[in-house]
Amino acid sequence: MTDVAAFSFDKLVIFGVGLIGGSLARALRERGDVGGARRVIGVGRSAASTARALELGVIDASAALTDDAALRDALQGADVVLLAAPVAQTQPLLERIAPFLDPQTIITDAGSTKSDVVAAARAALGGRINQFVPGHPIAGRESSGVDAALPDLYVNRNVVLCALPENAPNAVERIAAMWRATGASVHAMPAEQHDRVFASVSHLPHVLSFALVEQILNSPDAELKFSFAAGGFRDFTRIAASSPEMWRDVCVANRAALLDEIDGYTAVLARLRSAIEAGDGATLEAVFARSRTARSAWQERAAPKPSPARSATDDASK
Amino acid sequence: MTDVAAFSFDKLVIFGVGLIGGSLARALRERGDVGGARRVIGVGRSAASTARALELGVIDASAALTDDAALRDALQGADVVLLAAPVAQTQPLLERIAPFLDPQTIITDAGSTKSDVVAAARAALGGRINQFVPGHPIAGRESSGVDAALPDLYVNRNVVLCALPENAPNAVERIAAMWRATGASVHAMPAEQHDRVFASVSHLPHVLSFALVEQILNSPDAELKFSFAAGGFRDFTRIAASSPEMWRDVCVANRAALLDEIDGYTAVLARLRSAIEAGDGATLEAVFARSRTARSAWQERAAPKPSPARSATDDASK
């Protein structure tokens, strides 16, 4: 428990106070004795979203991104800065932050892709790249905006940190301790591996789900098909209701890994197609049975954990 | 309401008293004044499953498929026979039934594919094909077996009847009235169209879901990938926990339509791949936005209906 006890800081600055940033702020303020941030400042593109965060008590003060003086004040003496905006904004945001960045401040982010974020951070921060610890909290995004922010959003969720060679170990540990204080499990992984893993288990399924709806829409009897779609279709396409802008950015940002996954998937589908064409029931049944066994085993392991206490003992970024 | 009021019969024989057959029996016995069957006989391959159905009061009597005398008794004077066994058993079951089939009995089925079932029925019944009305109740199959059977499984669900040119209109209407009495909406469609529609909205998504799990299993870092799979993966692969035997049979039985859908899907995926490779965010966003809009509109329409009363006024098989 020493990691958790050691965690606390005076000033957290969040760029983008929506579901992800707002939930971090609420977790650090409301989860009692596990650690905290004495002062949280929200910075946003729109005055309306930071005003709402202030109204809800999620942040203590706000600053407009375009206001040099306010931004300087916000960043002065900041312990941690979280970027919780779409990944395509990483470089412009860091360029905006750089002139006001204190040498002891650690910046982290919450983007779904990491190699592109690292490249953007290197371009924007140059010699101060050691101050940037890339991160990715794996948390649901069915709803968005600060009104959807919850103090327990990260309980029993995974957070991946992709530490850079330039990062000081205590900088990485500080960000890990912050996330553990929210109830999350923190894991370390290089950015390239992160992008490969999430291309496979998250980005590819989103593309495949969008593609099925697109295929039906393009068919002459789309209405008829939709009218008989049932539970299997509902589950399979739930993620096709996700944000087009976010997934456009993810696809472009994680292009290389995602193309590899699409190619691998196309090859698996071609093998199944051949088996179907040949009426090769044995191959089909073997593949389906293997998938079902693996999916069921995953479901067992992934079942919600009863207690958030385990987070303190999980693998931490080194 | 005349259709519903007109419905009732003396003897229903169900081959395969599991979730689907058992739920029909329970619906017709327990849904009060909407119609019913005075006597329900269950026929099964295993004595255990019919014994359990008897114990639960789902059926009044049972017969073993292998017992000629019992089968003759069961089928004598039957108004309706429902085949609720895997589609691959359609032809052997009908060949077994044919010698004992009364001329006034109407046979229907509950298979997920229809062209192959029609071909099997023509082969087994020959000149008595007019007595066979192909059907497909679209009902959930997360659990199976007669213990999972529910009297309201079909309330607000769709049932598709693929009437044959040889069927007498009143034979089709009788089966339609039986399904409407369970609370279902009955729709008419040729077998080829049925198979195309369900290849698109059900069979293809199952294959795609199995394929994703297979791809991850075949990768060198499968364990790592599974350990970071989250909500999107869970929804997308829920149907990969389906019965390998059933989906093997469906893929083989509906081969032609399914191959067309796989080819169409592969083409859509290739187009998305090109857009990702080219960094063409505008195309990706347009496709994703179109899919999200269609998926959301479908969700609105497909939301559970509050009352089963509408079933009496829905489209009926003519």
The H or E element spanning position A9 is: strand A9-15
* Å between B213 CA and nearest CA of chain A: 5
**8 Å CB contact of A201 and B266:** no
The H or E element spanning position A118 is: helix A115-125
CATH 1.10.3660.10 matches B194-302: yes
* Tokens read off for A143: 């709803």
**8 Å CB contact of A160 and B228:** yes
| % of chain A beyond a pLDDT of 90 | 81
Which residue of chain A comes nearest to B159, CA vs CA? A228
Q: How confident is the model at residue B306 (pLDDT cuts 50, 70, 90)?
A: very low
What span, in angstroms and rounded, lies between the C-alpha atoms of B229 and A261?
Answer: 15
Beta strand pairing call for A135-138 and A158-161: antiparallel
* Å between A23 CA and nearest CA of chain B: 18
What span, in angstroms and rounded, lies between the C-alpha atoms of B170 and B246?
Answer: 32
pLDDT digits (tens, 9 = 90+) for B29-54: 887 544 566 899 999 888 888 999 99
Mean pLDDT of A273-281: 98
ipTM of the complex: 0.87
| Domain parsing of chain B, residue ranges | 2-189, 194-302
Which of A212, A242, A249 lies closest to B265 in CB terms? A212
* Å between B223 CA and nearest CA of chain A: 10
The single-letter DSSP state of residue A100 is G
Confidence check: pLDDT of A47 > 90: no
Q: What is the CATH number of domain A194-277?
A: 1.10.3660.10
Compute the Cα dihedral for B201, B257, A264, B206 and give only its sign.
Answer: positive
Look over chain B and give the mean of its residue pLDDT values, rounded to a whole number.
90
**8 Å CB contact of B244 and A296:** no
pLDDT digits (tens, 9 = 90+) for B188-203: 999 999 999 999 999 9
In A30-172, DSSP assigns E strands to 37-44, 61-64, 80-83, 106-109, 132-133, 135-138, 158-161
pLDDT value of position B144: 79
**Nearest residue to A157 via CA among A29, A318, A308, A2:** A308
Q: How confident is the model at residue A2 (pLDDT cuts 50, 70, 90)?
A: very low
Mean pLDDT of A257-262: 98
Q: How confident is the model at residue A102 (pLDDT cuts 50, 70, 90)?
A: very high
* Å between A166 CA and nearest CA of chain B: 25
Other beta carbons within 10 angstroms of residue A314's beta carbon come to: 15
* Tokens read off for B272: 């998305």
pLDDT value of position A309: 35
**8 Å CB contact of B236 and A231:** no
**8 Å CB contact of B226 and A201:** yes
Domain B2-189 and domain B194-302, same fold? Reply is: no
φ, ψ of residue A238 in degrees (nearest 5) = -55, -40
**8 Å CB contact of A232 and B205:** yes
Beta strand pairing call for B158-161 and B135-137: antiparallel
Pair B222, B70: CB distance under 8 Å: no
Q: What is the CATH number of domain A2-189+305-313?
A: 3.40.50.720
| Fold category of B2-189 in CATH | Rossmann fold (3.40.50)
The partner residues of A14 in beta bridges, in order of sequence, read A42, A82
Other beta carbons within 10 angstroms of residue B268's beta carbon come to: 20
What span, in angstroms and rounded, lies between the C-alpha atoms of B213 and A298?
Answer: 10
